[in-house]
Amino acid sequence: MHPDDPGASPNAQSACEEGFLSQFGRTSETTEFFSPVPEGYQRGRTAFVAVMGTVMSGLGKGIFSASLAKLLKDKGLTVAPIKLEGYLNVDSGTLNPYRHGEVFVLDDGTECDMDLGTYERLLDQDLTVRNFTTAGQIYTEILERERRGGYLGRDVQMIPHVTGEVKRRLRELAMTGGPEGGPVDLVFIEVGGTIGDYENGFYVEALRELAFEEGRENFCSVALTYILEPPTLGEQKSKAAQLGIKRLMETGIQPDLIACRAEHEVTETARQKVSMFSNVPLPRVFSMHDRASIYTIPEAMRAQGLDREVLTILDRHQKVDPVHEDSARAQWNRYAHAISASRPWSVNIGILGKYTALRDAYASIDKAIEHAATHLGATPDVQWIDVSDVDAGNVEGRLSPLDLHAVIVPGGFGERGVEGKIASVGHVRQAGIPFLGICLGFQVAVIEYARSVAGIENAHSTEFDPSLESAVISELPEQKAIEGLGGTMRLGGQDVQLTEGSLLAQLFGGDLLVRERFRHRFEVDPGCIEQLEAAGLIFSGRHPRQPIMQGIELPTSVHPYFVGGQFHPELTSRPLHPQPMFMGLMAAAIRRAHPEATSKAIEAWTMQTGAEPARS
């Protein structure tokens, strides 16, 4: 009997464990088995679920992987996701949003792919640098190790050294990706792009090796594919899906589950064809068709039994905590049901940016709006407004006809569109339209107020005019001393000290010290703060120890809701825990659109979803 067989004795399994460590843990020049095993790693303690794409990218591998991980986490298992990117960038920090969507920032300052935002929101857990890997990171680590003589004179090759580094990182995540840096039950691996991409080939080979080394009871592979539905034919076609899955099988990986993306629910006939040509049982072929919200996908997966199929494949049924699952499911379903419930209020929300042609550039803002709207019973009609051609002369004509009930001015880099944002902030401030400024949106609000109210002529930022004498936004001296692109950036989670009695403090439930995520280089110039405050601008969020302004507001007697943050509040919004500043904005928008909406009515709806009442 093979020691990997279910009926193998404990002694046989122990012998197999010792053989595994001795065989694959070597790094000398005398063996071809190069697969670094971290010290203390226990084979079989953690199982791996790998999600790979076929046909085309952008189908939602992250959504599927995060939804499946959520189902298993709800059952009481600990999970850790990781995104494997094929590009040579070390991180996502310098990527143009039009190329790759928004740059998501983790609490530890890692600039990463937007899929990690999906994982954080669905799993309701903070991730770290361990959950994100690029080819640039892999190659950098290997080349530096080679220069240090870390390969004992071996010629360094894609196999086994590059694939070995991938497996080492996956095993380290298995050991340290859990609560308080402990081990996890399941690691969910998402490979960017599609099968057949040259840049991802070494990831796929590493996963094939990992499946071989860990054993079939510790590895589950998932293929995400696409079912075509040409309008001229009037039926679904699965041939492209079949060929894509065949390409995966040619790499030596047999999928255990298949998720079929499609516009409409995948027909039984199409699923049968995919099942037959991929050797995957029909119950493990899932229709992942378009839905009103991604947050309804976990329950759809559960209804089709995908969570039980994964537990069967990995022999993990004994780890399920039914009490934990019932509680987690009830809490999530309250939110999921509110998504499709009839909502009493509709509001028009304007997002004024320069990347509005691609919604993925502001994905987290879009989700934060969805979270707040669902909890407060609002149906948001989001207007994506490009401010590149907006100025003081046409701003009223551009915005007034839209009948906006709230406006968000998001972050960004570069001079294009800045004057349009400044003019837009002036319009919404004077018109009393609820406003939320984020990062650069916070800065342009300070600039507009300095120009229009505080009497600081030509107020601007040294980001756009380094020789400016009347700068209200600039780099602090200690930042200027740091060289290199990105070197002066404030990145990741930092504390924000809120002013007692301020609107921001009320929004955060009275907490005076909150943690938010930053991604910026320029600050409010300390020399301008006194003049701005004297003119009525309230800096209600500050750095606990440095003269760094992190939040602004206007008194509610002057403006119904005028709030800004140097940080990115959208990055910490979760379905079950909507971000307070977005909750306040949404509540203010409801009141502007529906004056009859009372605080009690809004809070009554909020209580149906189990969220904290909006405090605006």
Q: What is the 3-state secondary structure (H, E, C) of 64-123?
A: HHHHHHHHHHHCCCCEEEEEEECCCCCCCCCCCHHHHCCCEECCCCCEECCHHHHHHHHH
Rounded Cα distance, 310 and 474, in Å: 53
Rounded Cα distance, 613 and 140, in Å: 48
| One domain, residues 293 and 392 | no
Q: Where are the alpha helices (DSSP H) in 432-574?
A: 440-452, 477-480, 503-507, 529-534
In this predicted model, what pLDDT tens digit does every residue of 105-155 receive, in sequence order? 999 999 999 999 999 999 999 999 999 999 999 999 999 999 999 888 888
With a cut of 70, which residues of the chain have pLDDT below it? 1-33, 476-488, 611-616
Phi, psi for 224 (deg, rounded to 5): -100, 125
Cβ pair 380, 347 in contact under 8 A: yes
Distance of CA 449 to CAs 24, 391, 425, 459, 537, Å? 64, 16, 9, 9, 8
| One domain, residues 323 and 435 | no
Domain total in the chain? 3
What letters, b where the CB count within 10 A reaches 16 and e where it falls short, cover 299-319?
A: bbbbeeebbebbbebbebeeb
State whether residue 263 is helix, strand or coil.
coil
| One domain, residues 412 and 305 | no
Given the residues 112, 439, 460, 528, select the one marked as catalytic.
439
| One domain, residues 366 and 456 | yes
| One domain, residues 558 and 597 | yes
pLDDT of residue 603: 81
570 is catalytic: yes
Q: Which structural domain, as residue segments, surrounds residue 291? A: 45-221+286-334
Phi, psi for 464 (deg, rounded to 5): -105, -20
| One domain, residues 3 and 103 | no
How many residues are present in the chain?
616
| One domain, residues 313 and 366 | no
pLDDT of residue 478: 57
pLDDT of residue 468: 80
| One domain, residues 530 and 424 | yes
State whether residue 594 is helix, strand or coil.
coil
Given the residues 100, 161, 427, 568, select the one marked as catalytic.
568
Residue with tokens 């189990």: 610
CATH number at residue 60: 3.40.50.300
For residue 244, tell me if it sits in a domain.
Answer: no
Q: Where is the domain boundary, 300, 315, 334?
A: 334
| One domain, residues 11 and 113 | no
Which two three-digit tokens encode residue 591?
A: 């009141």
568 is catalytic: yes
For residue 72, tell me if it sits in a domain.
Answer: yes
Rounded Cα distance, 411 and 416, in Å: 12
For residue 94, tell me if it sits in a domain.
Answer: yes
Q: Where is the domain boundary, 275, 302, 334?
A: 334
In this predicted model, what pLDDT tens digit does every residue of 305-314 receive, in sequence order? 999 999 999 9
| One domain, residues 469 and 520 | yes
| One domain, residues 347 and 329 | no
Rounded Cα distance, 377 and 151, in Å: 60
For residue 215, tell me if it sits in a domain.
Answer: yes
CATH number at residue 470: 3.40.50.880
pLDDT of residue 607: 73
| One domain, residues 298 and 373 | no
Given the residues 111, 209, 325, 570, select the one marked as catalytic.
570
For residue 4, tell me if it sits in a domain.
Answer: yes
For residue 257, tell me if it sits in a domain.
Answer: no
For residue 532, tell me if it sits in a domain.
Answer: yes
For residue 93, tell me if it sits in a domain.
Answer: yes
Phi-psi region of 193 (alpha: psi -120 to 50; beta: other; left: phi over 0): left
Rounded Cα distance, 603 and 616, in Å: 11
